[in-house]
Amino acid sequence: MITPFENVVPMGLDGRGIVILGAGGGGIGTATARTLAAAGAKLLCVDIDEQQAQAVAKEVGGHAFQADITDRKQMEDLFANAGRLFGDSLHGIADIVGWAPGGPLDGADDQAIARAFDLNLRHALLTVQIAAPMLARGGGGSMVFVSSLSGSKATPGQGLYSMFKGGLEQLIRQAAFEYGPGGVRVNGVAPGLTVTPGVEMAMTSEFTRRVEATIPMRKLATPQDQANSIFFLLSDLASHVSGSIIHVDGGQMTGANLPQLGDD
Protein backbone atom coordinates (compact mmCIF):
# COMPACT_ATOMS: atom_id res chain seq x y z
CA MET A 1 0.00 0.00 0.00
CA ILE A 2 1.31 3.46 -0.88
CA THR A 3 1.49 5.70 2.15
CA PRO A 4 0.67 9.42 1.86
CA PHE A 5 3.40 11.42 0.11
CA GLU A 6 5.51 8.31 -0.55
CA ASN A 7 5.89 9.06 -4.26
CA VAL A 8 5.79 12.84 -4.12
CA VAL A 9 8.43 14.40 -6.39
CA PRO A 10 10.98 16.68 -4.65
CA MET A 11 10.10 20.33 -5.21
CA GLY A 12 13.63 21.72 -5.40
CA LEU A 13 16.78 21.65 -7.52
CA ASP A 14 19.19 21.10 -4.65
CA GLY A 15 22.79 20.99 -5.86
CA ARG A 16 21.95 20.73 -9.55
CA GLY A 17 24.05 22.75 -11.95
CA ILE A 18 22.14 24.93 -14.40
CA VAL A 19 23.41 27.28 -17.11
CA ILE A 20 21.31 30.38 -17.77
CA LEU A 21 21.90 32.04 -21.13
CA GLY A 22 20.83 35.68 -21.07
CA ALA A 23 20.81 35.97 -17.28
CA GLY A 24 21.39 39.73 -17.06
CA GLY A 25 19.26 42.77 -17.68
CA GLY A 26 16.67 42.46 -14.96
CA GLY A 27 14.09 40.64 -17.12
CA ILE A 28 13.12 36.99 -17.54
CA GLY A 29 16.73 35.77 -17.28
CA THR A 30 17.33 37.54 -13.98
CA ALA A 31 13.99 36.39 -12.55
CA THR A 32 14.88 32.85 -13.59
CA ALA A 33 18.27 33.06 -11.86
CA ARG A 34 16.63 34.23 -8.64
CA THR A 35 13.98 31.51 -8.81
CA LEU A 36 16.39 28.67 -9.51
CA ALA A 37 18.79 29.86 -6.81
CA ALA A 38 15.93 29.91 -4.31
CA ALA A 39 15.22 26.30 -5.33
CA GLY A 40 18.81 25.33 -4.46
CA ALA A 41 20.38 25.18 -7.92
CA LYS A 42 24.03 25.97 -8.61
CA LEU A 43 24.10 28.53 -11.40
CA LEU A 44 26.35 29.65 -14.23
CA CYS A 45 24.98 33.05 -15.25
CA VAL A 46 25.87 33.91 -18.85
CA ASP A 47 25.45 37.22 -20.63
CA ILE A 48 27.18 39.10 -23.44
CA ASP A 49 27.46 42.01 -20.98
CA GLU A 50 30.11 40.94 -18.47
CA GLN A 51 29.02 43.42 -15.80
CA GLN A 52 25.43 42.21 -15.96
CA ALA A 53 26.53 38.58 -15.75
CA GLN A 54 28.65 39.36 -12.70
CA ALA A 55 25.90 41.37 -11.03
CA VAL A 56 23.27 38.65 -11.23
CA ALA A 57 25.78 35.92 -10.34
CA LYS A 58 26.80 37.84 -7.22
CA GLU A 59 23.15 38.32 -6.24
CA VAL A 60 22.27 34.63 -6.52
CA GLY A 61 25.57 33.16 -5.34
CA GLY A 62 26.43 31.74 -8.74
CA HIS A 63 29.24 31.95 -11.26
CA ALA A 64 29.47 34.50 -14.08
CA PHE A 65 30.55 33.95 -17.66
CA GLN A 66 30.71 36.44 -20.51
CA ALA A 67 30.06 35.03 -23.98
CA ASP A 68 28.66 35.78 -27.40
CA ILE A 69 26.22 32.91 -27.69
CA THR A 70 26.17 33.18 -31.49
CA ASP A 71 29.85 32.16 -31.69
CA ARG A 72 30.45 28.39 -31.72
CA LYS A 73 33.93 28.56 -30.15
CA GLN A 74 32.71 30.75 -27.31
CA MET A 75 29.80 28.38 -26.71
CA GLU A 76 32.17 25.42 -26.62
CA ASP A 77 34.32 27.27 -24.08
CA LEU A 78 31.24 28.17 -22.07
CA PHE A 79 30.00 24.61 -21.73
CA ALA A 80 33.50 23.27 -21.12
CA ASN A 81 33.60 25.68 -18.19
CA ALA A 82 30.17 24.46 -17.06
CA GLY A 83 31.48 20.90 -17.18
CA ARG A 84 34.44 21.84 -14.99
CA LEU A 85 32.21 23.67 -12.51
CA PHE A 86 29.41 21.14 -12.20
CA GLY A 87 30.72 17.80 -13.49
CA ASP A 88 27.99 15.16 -13.42
CA SER A 89 25.74 17.53 -11.49
CA LEU A 90 25.15 19.57 -14.66
CA HIS A 91 21.40 19.18 -14.95
CA GLY A 92 19.91 21.88 -17.12
CA ILE A 93 20.05 24.79 -19.53
CA ALA A 94 17.70 27.78 -19.51
CA ASP A 95 18.04 29.77 -22.73
CA ILE A 96 16.40 33.20 -22.44
CA VAL A 97 18.12 34.86 -25.42
CA GLY A 98 16.11 36.46 -28.22
CA TRP A 99 15.73 39.61 -30.30
CA ALA A 100 12.53 41.06 -31.74
CA PRO A 101 13.20 43.47 -34.61
CA GLY A 102 10.20 45.46 -35.68
CA GLY A 103 8.71 45.59 -39.14
CA PRO A 104 7.16 43.36 -41.80
CA LEU A 105 9.06 40.73 -43.77
CA ASP A 106 9.53 42.91 -46.85
CA GLY A 107 11.29 45.58 -44.80
CA ALA A 108 14.03 43.32 -43.43
CA ASP A 109 17.53 43.85 -44.80
CA ASP A 110 20.27 41.20 -44.83
CA GLN A 111 21.86 42.48 -41.63
CA ALA A 112 18.59 42.29 -39.69
CA ILE A 113 17.84 38.83 -41.11
CA ALA A 114 21.25 37.52 -40.04
CA ARG A 115 21.01 38.99 -36.56
CA ALA A 116 17.46 37.78 -35.98
CA PHE A 117 18.45 34.29 -37.18
CA ASP A 118 21.49 34.19 -34.89
CA LEU A 119 19.76 35.48 -31.76
CA ASN A 120 16.47 33.61 -32.08
CA LEU A 121 17.38 30.29 -33.71
CA ARG A 122 20.99 29.59 -34.66
CA HIS A 123 22.38 30.06 -31.14
CA ALA A 124 19.71 27.67 -29.83
CA LEU A 125 20.89 25.03 -32.31
CA LEU A 126 24.46 25.56 -31.06
CA THR A 127 23.19 25.08 -27.50
CA VAL A 128 21.52 21.80 -28.44
CA GLN A 129 24.53 20.52 -30.40
CA ILE A 130 27.01 21.29 -27.61
CA ALA A 131 25.02 20.89 -24.38
CA ALA A 132 22.56 18.06 -25.08
CA PRO A 133 25.29 15.41 -25.50
CA MET A 134 26.88 16.62 -22.25
CA LEU A 135 23.60 16.18 -20.39
CA ALA A 136 23.14 12.73 -21.92
CA ARG A 137 26.63 11.65 -20.85
CA GLY A 138 25.82 12.77 -17.31
CA GLY A 139 22.66 10.67 -17.19
CA GLY A 140 20.17 13.15 -18.58
CA GLY A 141 18.77 16.58 -17.82
CA SER A 142 16.49 19.32 -19.03
CA MET A 143 16.76 22.12 -21.58
CA VAL A 144 14.28 25.00 -21.68
CA PHE A 145 14.14 27.61 -24.44
CA VAL A 146 12.13 30.81 -24.37
CA SER A 147 10.02 31.19 -27.48
CA SER A 148 7.06 33.55 -27.91
CA LEU A 149 3.41 33.61 -28.88
CA SER A 150 4.84 34.87 -32.17
CA GLY A 151 6.29 31.40 -32.71
CA SER A 152 2.77 29.98 -33.03
CA LYS A 153 0.94 32.72 -34.92
CA ALA A 154 1.60 35.71 -37.13
CA THR A 155 2.09 38.93 -35.18
CA PRO A 156 1.77 42.51 -36.45
CA GLY A 157 5.20 44.05 -37.09
CA GLN A 158 7.13 40.94 -36.02
CA GLY A 159 7.87 39.18 -39.31
CA LEU A 160 11.41 37.95 -38.66
CA TYR A 161 10.79 37.28 -34.99
CA SER A 162 7.69 35.21 -35.72
CA MET A 163 9.48 33.22 -38.43
CA PHE A 164 12.54 32.32 -36.37
CA LYS A 165 10.62 31.65 -33.14
CA GLY A 166 8.51 29.23 -35.16
CA GLY A 167 11.76 27.57 -36.19
CA LEU A 168 12.86 27.46 -32.55
CA GLU A 169 9.70 25.60 -31.58
CA GLN A 170 10.35 22.98 -34.24
CA LEU A 171 13.96 22.71 -33.04
CA ILE A 172 12.60 22.02 -29.54
CA ARG A 173 10.46 19.17 -30.84
CA GLN A 174 13.24 17.72 -32.97
CA ALA A 175 15.78 17.89 -30.15
CA ALA A 176 13.33 16.25 -27.74
CA PHE A 177 12.92 13.43 -30.27
CA GLU A 178 16.63 12.94 -30.91
CA TYR A 179 17.97 13.29 -27.37
CA GLY A 180 15.12 11.71 -25.43
CA PRO A 181 16.74 8.26 -25.48
CA GLY A 182 19.66 9.81 -23.59
CA GLY A 183 17.37 11.10 -20.85
CA VAL A 184 17.41 14.69 -22.08
CA ARG A 185 14.12 16.58 -21.97
CA VAL A 186 13.72 19.63 -24.23
CA ASN A 187 10.85 22.08 -23.82
CA GLY A 188 9.89 25.68 -24.41
CA VAL A 189 8.11 28.53 -22.69
CA ALA A 190 6.18 30.88 -25.00
CA PRO A 191 5.49 34.17 -23.21
CA GLY A 192 2.77 36.59 -24.00
CA LEU A 193 3.75 40.24 -23.75
CA THR A 194 5.86 40.39 -20.59
CA VAL A 195 6.72 43.53 -18.65
CA THR A 196 10.51 43.35 -18.82
CA PRO A 197 12.51 46.57 -18.32
CA GLY A 198 12.90 47.05 -22.09
CA VAL A 199 9.23 46.48 -22.85
CA GLU A 200 8.12 48.70 -19.98
CA MET A 201 10.10 51.62 -21.38
CA ALA A 202 8.28 51.33 -24.72
CA MET A 203 4.74 50.96 -23.37
CA THR A 204 2.17 53.70 -22.90
CA SER A 205 -0.83 53.41 -20.59
CA GLU A 206 -3.13 53.28 -23.61
CA PHE A 207 -1.13 50.47 -25.21
CA THR A 208 -1.20 48.55 -21.93
CA ARG A 209 -4.96 48.96 -21.69
CA ARG A 210 -5.46 47.72 -25.25
CA VAL A 211 -3.26 44.67 -24.79
CA GLU A 212 -4.82 43.71 -21.47
CA ALA A 213 -8.24 43.83 -23.14
CA THR A 214 -7.08 40.99 -25.46
CA ILE A 215 -5.97 38.76 -22.57
CA PRO A 216 -8.63 36.62 -20.89
CA MET A 217 -6.96 37.13 -17.50
CA ARG A 218 -6.86 40.88 -18.21
CA LYS A 219 -3.26 41.42 -17.14
CA LEU A 220 0.21 41.36 -18.68
CA ALA A 221 2.75 38.72 -17.74
CA THR A 222 5.66 39.47 -15.44
CA PRO A 223 9.20 38.06 -15.68
CA GLN A 224 8.38 36.01 -12.58
CA ASP A 225 5.45 34.36 -14.37
CA GLN A 226 7.88 33.13 -17.03
CA ALA A 227 10.53 32.12 -14.49
CA ASN A 228 8.02 29.97 -12.62
CA SER A 229 7.28 27.94 -15.76
CA ILE A 230 10.98 27.62 -16.61
CA PHE A 231 11.57 26.27 -13.11
CA PHE A 232 8.74 23.75 -13.55
CA LEU A 233 10.20 22.44 -16.81
CA LEU A 234 13.71 22.15 -15.33
CA SER A 235 12.46 20.34 -12.25
CA ASP A 236 11.39 16.75 -11.65
CA LEU A 237 7.82 18.01 -11.52
CA ALA A 238 8.03 17.87 -15.33
CA SER A 239 9.83 14.52 -15.38
CA HIS A 240 7.76 13.14 -18.29
CA VAL A 241 7.31 16.39 -20.20
CA SER A 242 9.39 16.78 -23.36
CA GLY A 243 8.86 18.41 -26.73
CA SER A 244 6.22 20.72 -25.28
CA ILE A 245 5.66 24.47 -25.51
CA ILE A 246 3.94 26.07 -22.53
CA HIS A 247 2.13 29.30 -23.38
CA VAL A 248 2.45 31.67 -20.43
CA ASP A 249 0.08 34.31 -21.71
CA GLY A 250 -2.98 34.56 -19.48
CA GLY A 251 -4.99 32.65 -22.10
CA GLN A 252 -4.16 34.91 -25.03
CA MET A 253 -3.55 32.00 -27.41
CA THR A 254 -7.22 31.14 -27.16
CA GLY A 255 -7.70 33.55 -30.04
CA ALA A 256 -7.10 37.16 -29.05
CA ASN A 257 -5.18 39.54 -31.32
CA LEU A 258 -2.24 41.59 -30.10
CA PRO A 259 -2.01 45.23 -31.21
CA GLN A 260 1.33 46.41 -32.50
CA LEU A 261 3.66 48.12 -29.99
CA GLY A 262 3.71 51.83 -30.74
CA ASP A 263 0.40 51.77 -32.64
CA ASP A 264 -1.55 53.92 -30.17
Q: What share of the chain is helix, strand, coil (3-state, %, to 5)?
A: 50, 15, 35
How far is 187 from 15, CA to CA, in rounded Å?
22
The torsion of the CA quartet 14, 16, 22, 23, rounded to 10 degrees, works out to 30
pLDDT at residue number 150: 87
Residues whose CB is less than 8 angstroms from the CB of residue 172 and which lie 6 or more positions away in sequence, other chains included? 145, 147, 186, 187, 188, 243, 245
- Residues paired with residue 196 on neighbouring β-strands, in sequence order: none
Q: Which tens digits make up the pLDDT trace of 63-118?
A: 999 999 999 999 999 999 999 999 988 999 999 999 988 888 888 899 999 999 99
pLDDT at residue number 5: 57
Measured over the CA atoms of residue 18, residue 20, residue 24 and residue 30, the dihedral's sign is negative
Is 0.75 topped by the overall pTM?
Answer: yes
- Residues paired with residue 143 on neighbouring β-strands, in sequence order: 93, 186
Residues with a known catalytic role: 161
pLDDT at residue number 208: 85
Helices marked H in 87-196: 110-117, 123-137, 159-179
Residue 264's pLDDT band (cuts 50, 70, 90): low
> What mean pLDDT do residues 197-214 have?
82
Question: 57 — phi, psi (to 5°)?
Answer: -60, -40
The helix or strand, by DSSP H or E, that contains position 144, with its residue range, turns out to be strand 141-146
> Which amino acid makes up residue 43?
L
Residue 8's pLDDT band (cuts 50, 70, 90): low
Q: Which tens digits make up the pLDDT trace of 107-159?
A: 889 999 999 999 999 999 999 999 999 999 999 999 999 999 888 888 888 88
DSSP 2: P
Q: Which tens digits make up the pLDDT trace of 18-76?
A: 999 999 999 999 999 999 999 999 999 999 999 999 999 999 999 999 999 999 999 99
pLDDT at residue number 155: 81
Is pLDDT of 258 > 60?
no
Nearest to 48 by CA among 118, 146, 148, 147: 118
CB 238 within 8 A of CB 190: no
